[in-house]
């Protein structure tokens, strides 16, 4: 019995630290949303995106993975600045233009990444890997996470931040998946899910995460159906909650693949109990783009079928 006590205490401390970090983060995010200040929101999202990609390149360097961190951080800063200015000043009308900006910056990242390699002789796979890892970091962290910002302007409402509650709904569903999986897995988890990628994840935690996501998604929609009218009816809310929950799990596992490949445990130690900023936003990098495109394209698809 005494041998088991330290493990239980350790889990309890980790959970308390994670809960405290989560509450502080929620307080910051809620304050930004309630302020209805577009520029404050864009500053928050840009900061999270930059810190996330900075941690990505730091992990790569710590793991001995060839990359171009200076070029990757430089293009990320410029991209985040352009994105913030376009969305902050143009709102919903700038969304289509932003897609073109994505293509332009991805092209620029690859093109100048190879140009940068011309300064020295080809060094086997390292030369190719540097460009590939740098491009992946920009797309995976910066571009995919930027869809959180775009969701703020997707609803066509006469408000300064029309999609604030939509983003809160997205974050609730995504993070309740993580929390539900952690709590359920810690209490009753027995059957390992993917032990070669993440030994701590269990199938019981997986089911618990989906259950928590449904509670969060349906609960907030029931409280604020007008604010979340863009989600459609209950069928869409339930379906999207399950879909985003599955994507949140995949997003978390994707970062686990990165960390194992690079030989690091956490992306950072900025947030006690959670890790780094990339550990915080990894699942949102998967859920935000899918929610954006579903809400943007589904109405058009449904109307064309009628």
Q: pTM of the predicted model, to two decimals?
A: 0.87
Phi-psi region of 161 (alpha: psi -120 to 50; beta: other; left: phi over 0): beta
Q: Quick one: 255 exposed, middle or buried, by C-beta within 10 A (0-12, 13-18, 19+)?
A: buried
Decide if 306 is inside a domain.
no
DSSP output for 7-62: HHHHHHHHHHHHHHHHHHHHHHHHHHHHHT-HHHHHHHHHHHHHHHHHHHHHHHHH
Phi-psi region of 279 (alpha: psi -120 to 50; beta: other; left: phi over 0): alpha
Closest CA to 114 of 75, 80, 68, 64: 68
Instruction: List, in sequence order, every beta strand (DSSP E) within the chain.
Output: 192-194, 198-202
| Sequence-separated (6 or more) residues with CB below 8 Å from residue 101 | 79, 82, 83, 86
Whether 21 shows a pLDDT value over 70: the answer reads no
Decide if 51 is inside a domain.
yes
pLDDT for res 27: 76
DSSP state of 200: E
Worst-scoring range by mean pLDDT, 3-7, 135-139, 177-181, 198-202?
3-7
pLDDT for res 259: 86
Are 257 and 114 in contact by the 8 Å Cβ rule? The answer is no
| Sequence-separated (6 or more) residues with CB below 8 Å from residue 210 | 177, 180, 242, 245, 246
Token reading at 85: 């200015």
Are 286 and 250 in contact by the 8 Å Cβ rule? The answer is yes
Model pLDDT for residues 52-64, shown as the tens digit of each residue: 999 999 999 988 9
Cα of 156 vs its chain's centroid, Å: 24
Token reading at 111: 């093109």
Token reading at 39: 């520029």
Whether 222 shows a pLDDT value over 50: the answer reads yes
Backbone dihedral angles phi then psi of residue 275, each to the nearest 5 degrees: 120, -130
* Bridge partner residues of 202 (DSSP): 192
pLDDT for res 10: 61
Are 109 and 69 in contact by the 8 Å Cβ rule? The answer is no
Whether 1 shows a pLDDT value over 60: the answer reads no
Backbone dihedral angles phi then psi of residue 142, each to the nearest 5 degrees: -75, -55
Averaged pLDDT for residues 188-209 = 85
What's the number of domains the chain is made of?
1
- Per the structure, the complete domain to which residue 100 belongs is given by 5-301
Model pLDDT for residues 241-290, shown as the tens digit of each residue: 999 999 999 998 998 888 888 888 777 666 666 668 888 899 999 999 99
Model pLDDT for residues 128-142, shown as the tens digit of each residue: 899 999 999 999 999
pLDDT for res 304: 40
DSSP state of 190: -
Are 290 and 244 in contact by the 8 Å Cβ rule? The answer is yes
Q: Quick one: 218 exposed, middle or buried, by C-beta within 10 A (0-12, 13-18, 19+)?
A: middle
């Amino acid at each position: 019995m005494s041998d088991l006590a330290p493990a239980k205490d350790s889990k309890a401390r980790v959970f308390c630290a994670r809960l405290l970090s989560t509450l502080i983060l929620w307080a910051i995010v809620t304050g930004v949303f309630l302020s209805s200040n577009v520029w404050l929101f864009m500053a928050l999202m840009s900061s999270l995106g930059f810190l996330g990609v900075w941690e990505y390149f730091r992990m790569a360097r710590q793991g001995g993975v060839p990359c171009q961190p200076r070029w990757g951080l430089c293009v990320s800063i410029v991209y985040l600045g352009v994105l913030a200015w376009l969305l902050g000043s143009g709102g919903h009308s700038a969304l289509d233009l932003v897609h073109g900006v994505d293509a332009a910056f991805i092209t620029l990242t690859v093109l100048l990444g190879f140009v940068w390699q011309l300064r020295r002789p080809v060094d086997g796979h390292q030369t190719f890997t540097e460009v590939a890892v740098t491009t992946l970091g920009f797309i995976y962290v910066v571009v995919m996470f930027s869809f959180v910002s775009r969701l703020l302007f997707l609803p066509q409402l006469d408000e300064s931040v029309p999609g604030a509650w939509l983003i809160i709904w997205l974050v609730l569903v995504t993070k309740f998946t993580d929390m539900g999986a952690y709590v359920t897995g810690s209490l009753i988890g027995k059957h390992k899910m993917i032990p070669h990628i993440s030994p701590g994840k269990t199938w019981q935690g997986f089911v618990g995460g989906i259950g928590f996501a449904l509670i969060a998604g349906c609960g907030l929609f029931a409280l604020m159906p007008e604010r979340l009218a863009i989600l459609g009816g209950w069928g869409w809310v339930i379906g999207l909650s399950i879909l985003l929950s599955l994507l949140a799990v995949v997003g978390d596992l994707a970062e686990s693949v990165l960390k194992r490949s690079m030989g690091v445990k956490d992306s950072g130690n900025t947030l006690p109990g959670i890790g780094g900023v990339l550990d915080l936003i990894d699942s949102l990098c998967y859920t935000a783009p899918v929610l954006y495109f579903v809400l943007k394209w589904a109405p058009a698809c449904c109307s064309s079928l009628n």
